[in-house]
């Protein structure tokens, strides 16, 4: 718009122009946000990267996580399974896993949980007292509910600490939302065609009854002279005119009706549904998986994070206590995986269904690739370098008051068996000059 014309506008016109300008900028801003979302798909994920690194590297380490499908139809089931290690070096600032609930982390109720298990035990309820330093195996059977592309993670909710999520995979749910059904047969053989809406009509009817009674009582008083006339009457000492005999009669009748409906409803519900199981509130106990054979000892001697190189460098004294030679296979932490590409079986270390955006492309660098012989102790330096540290916002451990890291170091022996050792310790940032 030419400047001259603008100056001739009335002040109202100016405001309209300003509003139009603001709207344009807002649209542009939204468009750019949308574009950014399209460019980096994980921008649509839901905040898993905002958790502090000490939570993600030193509490629950998920491994062997599998998603059996990436695309499901509405009502189709898929399975999410895997294991996790509760780290021995659990941070002081995080409540220990005293009460834990297993679920899936989804952006809203996009999928329905059909079954869930922890170490083979049904995980309908929370579990109490999981053990640090031990492993657990989970399985979640889910069902597509709302069409779309959803980022879905395994999740452990720990009382006092919050949700700790595993690796997230994009699951595409196809079909029409209206086709979703949740058929259930109750314990006494009643067939429920769709649990989604079961009992809602009746609940709404009850709302109607109570709302009608409440509205009647409110209107009954509202139609009469209200506050000021009553206040004046009170001031004049005429309390007797405030409540008439009719008011008392209506009040008593209403009271009787409310009590009758409540008790009547209770008796009716008890008669119609003689078997009612309340929501289960207690916790279950589950034993951890058997301890793995402890074949490799790892002592972290030095760990630092090279800020410009985006690289975690760890020097560790490794002792092979087993009967076979072992090689370092993988370093995993906070769902990120750094695989030693030269190790035997490295090509099969990461399954095809594991989210690729969590696997470091260049893998794990080692100072020394020579396998450790039985009984041998050697200092080995490994380097986990990738922009993933930044992308996954894991570098803020540099500013933590408790600058420690944790992770799992996997080894592979000559016969192809995988061995796992938890590692961790203090970590120092290095701001190497560029």
The site for Cu ion (CB under 5 A) is made up of 45-46, 48, 151, 168
Query: Shortest gap between Cβ of 152 and Cu ion (angstroms)?
Result: 7
- Please, which residue, 96 or 168, has the CB nearer to Cu ion? 168
For residue 332, the minimal CB distance to Cu ion (Å) is 18
Q: Least distance (Å) from Cu ion to the CB of residue 255?
A: 53
Residue 128's DSSP bridge partners are: 99
- CB nearer Cu ion, residue 45 or residue 233: 45
Q: Closest approach of Cβ 44 to Cu ion, in Å?
A: 8
Nearer to Cu ion, 45 or 350 (CB): 45
- Residues 277, 241: Cα–Cα separation, whole Å: 52
Residue 47 or 308 having the CB closest to Cu ion: 47
Residues in contact with 372: Cβ distance below 8 Å, sequence separation at least 6, in sequence order? 296, 318, 319, 320, 325, 326, 327, 378
Cα–Cα distances in Å, from 172 out to 182, 210, 222, 374?
A: 19, 43, 55, 47
Q: Give the residue with the Cβ less far from Cu ion, 108 or 255.
A: 108
Under 8 Å between Cβ of 329 and 51: no
Q: Which residue has the tokens 């409906």?
A: 261
User: Which residues have C-beta within 8 Å of that of residue 417, sequence separation ≥ 6?
Assistant: 324
Q: Which of 168/407 has CB closer to Cu ion?
A: 168
- Nearer to Cu ion by C-beta: 145 or 151? 151
Q: How far is the CB of 48 from Cu ion (least distance, A)?
A: 5
Strand duo 326-333 + 428-430: pairing = unpaired
Closer residue to Cu ion (CB): 107 or 147: 107
Sequence-ordered list of residues with C-beta below 8 angstroms from that of 179, at least 6 positions apart, any chain: 74, 75
Rounded least distance, CB 141 to Cu ion, Å: 19
Cβ proximity of 135 and 83 under 8 Å: yes
Structure tokens at 177: 């939302």
CB of 115 to Cu ion, least distance (A): 22
Nearest CB to Cu ion, comparing residues 15 and 33: 33
Give CA–CA dist 396/166, Å, rounded: 19
The answer to whether 316 touches 379, Cβ cutoff 8 Å, is yes
Tell me the C-alpha distance between 66 and 57, whole Å: 20
Q: Least Å distance between CB 113 and Cu ion?
A: 17
Burial 151-166 (b: 16+ CB within 10 A, else e): bbbbbbbbeebebbbb
Looking up tokens 């834990």, which residue turns up? 100
CB of 166 to Cu ion, least distance (A): 10
């Amino acid at each position: 718009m030419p400047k001259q014309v603008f100056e001739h506008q009335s002040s109202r016109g100016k405001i309209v122009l300003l509003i139009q300008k603001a709207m344009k900028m807002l649209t542009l801003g939204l468009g750019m946000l949308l574009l950014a979302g399209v460019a980096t798909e994980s921008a649509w994920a839901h905040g898993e990267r905002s958790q502090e690194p000490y939570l993600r590297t030193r509490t629950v380490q998920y491994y062997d996580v599998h998603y059996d499908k990436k695309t499901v139809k509405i009502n189709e089931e898929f399975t999410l399974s895997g294991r996790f290690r509760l780290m021995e070096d659990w941070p002081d600032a995080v409540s220990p896993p005293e009460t834990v609930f297993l679920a899936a982390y989804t952006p809203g109720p996009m999928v329905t949980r059909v079954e869930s298990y922890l170490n083979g035990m049904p995980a309908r309820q929370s579990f109490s007292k999981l053990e640090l330093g031990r492993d657990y195996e989970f399985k979640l059977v889910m069902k597509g509910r709302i069409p779309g592309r959803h980022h879905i993670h395994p999740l452990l909710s720990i009382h006092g600490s919050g949700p700790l999520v595993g690796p997230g995979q994009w699951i595409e749910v196809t079909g029409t939302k209206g086709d979703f059904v949740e058929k259930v047969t109750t314990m006494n053989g009643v067939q429920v065609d769709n649990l989604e809406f079961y009992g809602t009509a009746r609940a709404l009817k009850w709302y109607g009854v109570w709302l009608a009674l409440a509205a009647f009582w409110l209107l009954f008083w509202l139609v009469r002279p209200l506050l000021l006339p009553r206040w004046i009457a009170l001031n004049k000492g005429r309390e007797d005119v405030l409540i008439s005999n009719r008011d008392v009669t209506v009040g008593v009748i209403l009271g009787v009706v409310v009590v009758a409906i409540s008790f009547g409803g209770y008796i009716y519900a008890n008669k119609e549904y003689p078997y009612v199981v309340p929501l289960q509130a207690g916790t279950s106990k589950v034993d951890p998986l058997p301890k793995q054979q402890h074949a490799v000892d790892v002592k972290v001697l030095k760990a630092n994070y090279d800020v410009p190189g985006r690289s975690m460098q760890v020097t560790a004294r490794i002792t092979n206590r087993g009967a076979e030679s072992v090689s370092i296979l993988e370093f995993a932490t906070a769902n990120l995986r750094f695989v030693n590409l030269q190790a035997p079986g490295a090509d099969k270390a990461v399954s095809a269904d594991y989210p690729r955006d969590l696997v470091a492309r260049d893998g794990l660098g080692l100072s020394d690739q020579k396998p450790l012989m039985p009984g041998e102790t050697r200092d080995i330096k490994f380097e986990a370098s990738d922009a993933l540290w930044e992308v996954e916002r894991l570098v803020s451990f540099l500013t933590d008051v408790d600058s420690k890291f944790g992770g799992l170091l996997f080894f592979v022996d000559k016969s192809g068996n995988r061995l796992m050792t938890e590692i961790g310790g203090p970590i120092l940032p290095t701001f190497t000059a560029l």
